[in-house]
């Protein structure tokens, strides 16, 4: 039994930083508009949100907090930044796999792999596209697309 450990892709970190940067920019614009209109309390609140979003974009180690390992017929997924959670999915429990990606995800070379099991969905976000296709084929069979 060979275990192969992987982490989420660096492109996922870039994508999250891009999303947080866009949100911070919108919050900053709204702060300026509120300050000009004389709504100082609202401007202060949105300014605080803007600072928090910017800080989150700079310190984003949590984006690479998903690790997964393929071992025999099992897929082990660890998630979490402060609290680590481990999920083990047997190959026999997976009905099919779906590989998807937004245009930005495709630009960064990452995808989301969703495994459909009898108990629900299991998602792996921020996976390299090649690894996602391999995982979809190995665990979802020929139904992966």
Which structure tokens are listed for 6? 């992987």
Looking at the fold, whether 77 and 124 belong to one and the same domain comes out as yes
Looking at the fold, whether 132 and 70 belong to one and the same domain comes out as yes
Looking at the fold, whether 70 and 131 belong to one and the same domain comes out as yes
Q: What digits encode the pLDDT tens for the residues 3-23? A: 555 666 777 777 777 777 777
Looking at the fold, whether 49 and 94 belong to one and the same domain comes out as no
Looking at the fold, whether 78 and 98 belong to one and the same domain comes out as yes
User: How much is the pLDDT for 120?
Assistant: 87
CA distance 74 to 90: 4
CA 79 to chain centre: 10
Instruction: Name 74's bridge partners.
Output: 71, 90
User: How much is the pLDDT for 117?
Assistant: 86
Domain membership flag for residue 1: no
> Which of 39, 61, 83 is the endpoint of a domain?
61
Average pLDDT over residues 93-119: 87
Looking at the fold, whether 79 and 138 belong to one and the same domain comes out as yes
Instruction: Name 29's bridge partners.
Output: none
User: How much is the pLDDT for 143?
Assistant: 44
Q: What digits encode the pLDDT tens for the residues 57-79? A: 666 655 455 667 766 678 888 77
Range of the domain at 132: 65-143
Write the CB contacts of 4 (distance below 8 Å, at least 6 apart in sequence). 69, 70, 71
CA distance 2 to 117: 24
Write the CB contacts of 83 (distance below 8 Å, at least 6 apart in sequence). none
Looking at the fold, whether 87 and 51 belong to one and the same domain comes out as no
- Mean of all residue pLDDT scores within the chain: 76
Looking at the fold, whether 117 and 102 belong to one and the same domain comes out as yes
Looking at the fold, whether 121 and 85 belong to one and the same domain comes out as yes
CA distance 6 to 20: 25
Looking at the fold, whether 75 and 113 belong to one and the same domain comes out as yes
CA distance 30 to 20: 15
Domain membership flag for residue 5: no
Looking at the structure of the chain, the number of domains it has is 2
């Amino acid at each position: 039994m060979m275990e192969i450990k992987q982490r989420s892709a660096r492109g996922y970190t870039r994508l999250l930083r891009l999303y947080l940067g866009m949100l911070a920019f919108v919050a900053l614009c709204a702060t300026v508009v509120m300050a000009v209109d004389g709504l100082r309390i609202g401007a202060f609140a949105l300014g605080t949100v803007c600072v928090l979003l910017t800080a989150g974009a700079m310190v984003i180690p949590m984006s690479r907090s998903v690790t997964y390992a393929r071992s025999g017929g099992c897929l082990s997924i660890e998630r979490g930044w402060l609290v680590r959670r481990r999920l083990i999915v047997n190959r026999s429990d997976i009905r099919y796999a779906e590989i998807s990606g937004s245009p930005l995800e495709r630009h960064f070379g990452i995808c989301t792999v969703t495994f459909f099991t009898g108990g629900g969905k299991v998602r792996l976000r921020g996976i390299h596209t090649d690894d996602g296709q391999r995982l979809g084929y190995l665990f979802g069979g020929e139904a992966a697309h």
